Structure formats: structure tokens, C-alpha cells
Structure 1
Amino acid sequence: MDSKQFQQLSEQIMHDIEQFIDQDMVLNDSDIDYEIHGNVMTITLENRHKIIINKQEPLRQIWMATRRQGYHFNYQQSHWYCDRSGQEFFTILKNALVDLA
């Protein structure tokens, strides 16, 4: 994947995360906010727990940090997958949001 393709794909996942949160698909009764500054998205739950998601352009990865663990995602077969567990990005994000709520 070249730099331009990574930029397009990483921008798309950030947009998809925003939609995922805005549609309130995860925690119907919780207030979840997010901010984007440069390559970093900070998701803040009602209880002030945070999830940090950032683009790692040199490695062509998306990284996610939760209170319990950090994850690195590679783009394969039209999805972002964790390089350790093989789980899809949104599966891990949803589980992290539920766990931190």
C-alpha cells in the first residue's frame, strides 16, 4: 500500500468510526464524545474513560489504545484486522466501548 492509498483508507476508517459512534450502535444509554486532532481521535465515554485511535503512516497501520490494551491494525481484504488476534477493528472497538462503559 502506498502513502496515498493509506491516507484514503485511514480517512475512511476515521469517518466510519464517527458514524459508528453517532449512530449510537454500541451503548444506547451512554454519552460518547470524540475529538480529532491531526492523526489522533480521542473517544471519551461518559465515565471519562478514553480510547485513543491514531494513524501510523510510516507503518501503514491504525493503532488503538484502551485502558487495558493496545492494538495495531493492518488493512487486508477490505477491512482493518488486529495484527495479533486477527479480529476486525470494529469488533474490538465495540468490545472496548462496552468494557469501559
Structure 2
Amino acid sequence: MFITKISRLCNIPRNISLITQRKINNLPHQLPLTTRLLNPCIGSVISWNKQDCNSVTIKVNYSSNITQESPPLDAATFENICEETLDHLTEYFEELVELEPNLKDADISYSSGVLTVSLGDSGTYVINKQSPNKQIWLSSPTSGPKRFDFDTKQQYWVYSHTGVSLHALLQEELPKIFTSVKDIDFSRCCYSKL
């Protein structure tokens, strides 16, 4: 009951950062006097102070890394942007593998919108387009699965839950695998933002 009431507070625009305070009546008596929990919708902290047996004041700090909504892509534009993005990533991964002597068994393949980067003991990255959702999906052996939307205003792929770009995530993870390669720079790829 209490969590349901909190979840209604989560429907806010993405570009807002605010603190709000609400009083909710008729809460269960077993709540502690002061309690904190993570808000699952955007990870902000919710705290409440029990004032009496029937009501409590809630403080919610909302924030988001996404600055504004991006206009939708049409199907043809999405396909072209995906193709360019995946082609550039394929070329850059091939270049990195050639420069890394510790990854002789690495394999890079790109076909039908799916880029597979097998890095031996370091795991396999799969980056693929999802045309129905107009997204690029990443499966990373380090950070797990992510779904990236294209920001048409800023021209890059962004994970909407954190605001991190596809290329920035790769830039963060891959130097730990390509240890012999100096100056890994995914900003060289098209539609990147670090």
C-alpha cells in the first residue's frame, strides 16, 4: 500500500530536479519512526518521518540525467544511423584487436545488424540494432545488458536510465581489457558522446 502511493510520485518530466514533501494518511502502524529507501523508478532517496499513528510526511528528491525528450526517428533514418554506428564500431574494434597482443584469439563479426566482439577470457560484447524499438542493445560481460535510444537533438546513443552514452560506456570498460593499447578513444566513432 505504501509503496504504491510512493510510485505515483515518480511520474515527473525527465528534466526536473526537485525536492517535494507530501503528507500521507493511514499508513501501517509497524513503520519505524524514521525510514529511508531507494526509489526504484529513478534511484532517488525517499525518507519519511512518522508523525502519529495515522500520517507521515514524505520527502522525495527527484533528479534525472536526461535533459530533454528527443523527437522520434523515422524507420529509414533509424536504419541508416544504426548501420553507420555499427560499421564504425566494427572498424574500431578491429583496430583495437590488432593493437592488443594479449587478444590473439579475439574475433569480431558484424552481420545483419549484430556486432559480436569475442574477447577470449574477457568475455563477449554483443551490440545489435532493435528495429521495432528503434534502439541499440548492448550485452556487456562487465556491465550487463543495456538498451540505448538515439537522441536526435544531440546526435548520440544514450541509456535513458543513467544518461550514459553507448560510446562512453565502452570507453570506460574496454581499457581494462585492451591494456596494451594507449589512448582508446570511442569519440572517433560516429554518433558518439563521451
TM range (shorter): 0.7 to 0.9
Query: How big is the shift at 1:98?
Result: 3.8
Contact 1:30-1:45 within 8 A present in 2 as well: no
> Which protein has the larger Cα radius of gyration, Structure 1 or Structure 2?
2
Q: Which residue of 2 aligns with 1:84?
A: 161
Q: What stretches of structure 2 of length at least 5 have no aligned partner?
A: 1-72, 179-194
Count of residue pairs the alignment pairs up: 100
In structure 1, C-alpha distance between the alignment counterparts of 2:164 and 2:149, rounded to whole Å: 11
From 145, 150, 153, the equivalent of 1:70 is 145
Of Structure 1 and Structure 2, the greater helix share is in 1
Out of 42, 59, 66, the position equivalent to 2:133 is 59
Give the secondary-structure state (helix, strand or coil) at the position aligned to 2:162. coil
Using CA pairs under 8 Å that are at least 6 residues apart, name the structure with larger relative contact order, 1 or 2: 1
Structure 1 residue 11, shift from structure 2 partner: 0.3
Unaligned 5+ segments in structure 1 are: none
Match of 1:46 among 92, 107, 120: 120
Assess if the C-alpha contact under 8 Å between 2:137 and 2:145 holds in 1: yes
Tell me, what secondary structure is at the counterpart of 1:23?
helix
Deviation at 1:13, TM superposition (A): 0.6
Name the counterpart of 1:9: 81
The 8 Å contact of residues 90 and 110 in structure 2, kept in 1 or not, is answered as no
Separation (CA, whole Å) in 1 of partners of 2:107 and 2:78: 25
Q: Percent identity?
A: 22
**Displacement after TM superposition at 1:29 (Å):** 4.2
Per-residue CA deviation, residues 60-86 of structure 1 (Å, 9 max, x unaligned), is 000001124111111111111112111
Match of 1:18 in 2: 90
TM-score, scaled relative to structure 1: 0.82
AA aligned to 1:75 is: F
Report the Cα distance in structure 2 between the residues aligned to 1:100 and 1:65, rounded to whole angstroms: 16
Tell me by how many angstroms 1:28 deviates: 4.2
Distance in 1 of aligned mates of 2:111 and 2:96: 22
* Contact persistence 1:81–1:87 (CA under 8 A): yes
1:75/1:81 contact within 8 Å kept: yes
Worse-matched range after superposition: 30-39 or 59-68 = 30-39
TM-score (norm 2): 0.46
